[in-house]
Amino acid sequence: MAQPPRNNLSIYDEVAEDWWSDDIRWVRTLKNMVPGRLGYFDRLVSWQGKAVLDLGCAGGFMAEAIEDRGAHVTGIDPAKDAIAAARSHAGARDITYDVGVGEALPYTDGQFDIVICVDVLEHVSDLTKVLKEVARVLVPGGTFLFDTINRNPVSRLATITVAEDILRLLPKGTHDPAMFIKPSELVEGLEQAGFAVGKLTGLGPVGLTLRGDLKFGRLPLKAVIYMGSATKAAR
């Protein structure tokens, strides 16, 4: 039997019509990760009144949560059907959605106070270009918030063998473990793009919902998923 392609980004368009339905377990998993991420990011930034770019927004879970905190949000993603679902669900919210990629952001220099990028960096075709583009569209002193997956045998076991193959928390082929990013590599790339990098921390399962889905929160270990912040130089 042929193996599914790795880093298969078509999955986001394939489920776009049901993105907000709560009927698809792996999509619910992505939704359930939002509070855990924001529980940490809320400590690092004030969202109220800020211009925020959600880079790799998919169907809009994070974008809507940030808009709830008073931000002016722009979301961008290459999955055009997922973007259509995000636009439809947003209604009159203060969110603008665009189709595009992180390697060539269609925005002016210094347009955003904050860029948030979760579950994305391990999927991009050119990490260096993405980080440079993030720096370009941020104001001087602006903040980049991110998470991604570490590259090591433990993360491969957790995300591929367990999450994709055994528990089916993600569709097979969602990730390519060769594209996972060691923290030292990401820190180096961020520094080369002009960022000062803050402390990194882990993100992972911390319990179960009443439906039996995983709940996520901050963890001390960074072996699988890690998250953090970086600040663009003020000048």
Residue 116: give its domain's CATH number: 3.40.50.150
Is 205 a domain residue?
Answer: yes
- The one-digit pLDDT tens for each residue of the chain (235 residues) are 445 679 999 999 999 999 999 999 999 999 999 999 999 999 999 999 999 999 999 999 999 999 999 999 999 999 999 999 999 999 999 999 999 999 999 999 999 999 999 999 999 999 999 999 999 999 999 999 999 999 999 999 999 999 999 988 899 999 999 999 999 999 999 999 999 999 999 999 999 999 999 999 999 999 999 999 999 999 7
Q: How many domains does the chain contain in total?
A: 1
Is 1 a domain residue?
Answer: no
Is 53 a domain residue?
Answer: yes
Exposure string (b/e) for 121-146, b if CB count within 10 Å is 16 or more? bbbbeebebbbbbbbbbbbeebbbbb
Identify the domain containing residue 20 by its residue range: 10-232
Is 39 a domain residue?
Answer: yes
Q: Can you give the pLDDT at residue 208?
A: 94
Is 2 a domain residue?
Answer: no
Coil, helix or strand for 207?
strand
Is 5 a domain residue?
Answer: no
Global confidence as pTM: 0.96
Q: Can you give the pLDDT at residue 169?
A: 86
